[in-house]
Homo-oligomer: A and B are copies of this chain.
Amino acid sequence: MGSSANGFAGDRMSTSNGGGGVDKGVDFANYFCTYAFLYHQKEMLSDRVRMDAYFNSIFKNKTHFLGKTVLDVGTGSGILAIWSAQAGARKVYAVEATKMAEHARELVKANNLQDVVEVIEGSIEDITLPEKVDVIISEWMGYFLLRESMFDSVICARDRWLKPTGVMYPSRARMWLAPIRSGLGDKKMNDYEGSMDDWRYFLNETKNYYGVDMSCLTKPYSEEQKKYYLRTSLWNNLHPNQVIGTAAMIKEMDCLTVTVEEILSVEASISSTITGDDTRLCGFAGWFDVHFQGNKESPAEEEVELTTAPSQDHTTHWGQQVFLLHPPSRVQQGDIVNIDFSMIRSKENHRLMEVELGCEIAPSSSKPLAPFKSKYYIE
């Protein structure tokens, strides 16, 4: 046997929760554990776009925190809870499912906020608070907003612990999709073809040296490799000039009212107008933004936006999710790209996503090209 260090598996597989309901042990092993590493906390704490947005949303809207009770869902190292306390909160409940809770507690103490911030180790679904809260703050966004399905836990917290007049931080979230050009597609196709060349060499060796014909596995092998190289969305921080058409919103949610039911799947039929001149449509990029706006009764004094859109100056650890088309298509300025987008959770792991992208290009000058449809995995 001899499997390479766990990384190998992690690299390639979407892990299983047994197909049925979520096995908490499996979910912890596959998901939460990552957040128990300070290295990973540091990655998030070093994301200036992320940090500035939350920092400003709190300190430019102090009235939402002054003398109030706050719940931080998934506090990690405790940074949002600490800022909430520094902004004048009366009490902050900082809930964290992993052992990171212990570090959060140390950090709270080192910053002399132990009388305000109470770190609670446990999953939000299991723990109990002594009171309802005025504010729920959480940094719950995964790749392309919904990967990790962590917002389910925030909704659970909201429905159980937020006062009717309460405020959500962030209060609104949106998902975007736009056509892009990229060299990644050619590279991935080369990687795939290279891996199939290796396979054919391997087949010959195995037949000639060891007398076993493995050609019946060529189809499943090629499917496995296709999924890995061509059908898995890619993390990337694109340059804005790689976006070759108008971005379309595919989902908007009010964090105060959205239900789990409403985020189980995302469905949208959208259009994008090509803005680049005579270029290649290589695929689509998905990103998100969230807004800190308070609520109707008490709107934010200063609205703050956190966006993960392609930017020349600011990149985030979220980057964008890229869905590549094989092959790319030539497009012209003014062409209309009609897209049917749907995203559901993976049956094997509810924190991973499966995307179906239907696409039709209507050239401004001639008749529409044949439509095509692709499936992608967000892992």
Interface on A for B, CB 8 Å cutoff?
A: 1-18, 23, 25-26, 28-31, 33-40, 42, 44-46, 51, 55, 74, 77, 79, 82-83, 86, 103, 106-107, 109-111, 139-143, 147-148, 150, 198-199, 202, 205-206, 209-217, 220-221, 224-225, 228, 235, 316-318, 379
* Minimum CB distance partner of A319 in chain B: B2
- Are A6 and B2 interface neighbours, CB within 8 A? no
Task: Evaluate contact between B17 and A29: CB separation under 8 angstroms.
Answer: yes
| Interchain CB contact under 8 A, A217 and B2 | no
Name the residue of chain B whose CB is nearest to the CB of A223. Answer: B38
Within 8 Å by CB of A6, from B13, B17, B25, B39, lies B13
Which chain B positions have C-beta within 8 A of A29?
15-17, 26, 29-30
A-B contact pairs, 7 of them (CB 8 A): A1-B35, A2-B143, A3-B142, A5-B11, A13-B33, A37-B224, A42-B198
* Complex: A143 Cα to B205 Cα, angstroms: 25
> How far apart sit A235 and B14, CA to CA, in the bound complex (Å)?
24
A167 CB → nearest B CB, Å: 21
Choose one: B15, B77, B225; the contact of A214 (CB below 8 Å): B77
Instruction: Say yes or no: A38 contacts B8, CB within 8 Å.
Output: no
Q: Which residues of B contact A199 (CB under 8 A)?
A: 42
Residue on B with the closest CB to A228? B39
Shortest distance in angstroms between A138's beta carbon and chain B's nearest beta carbon? 9
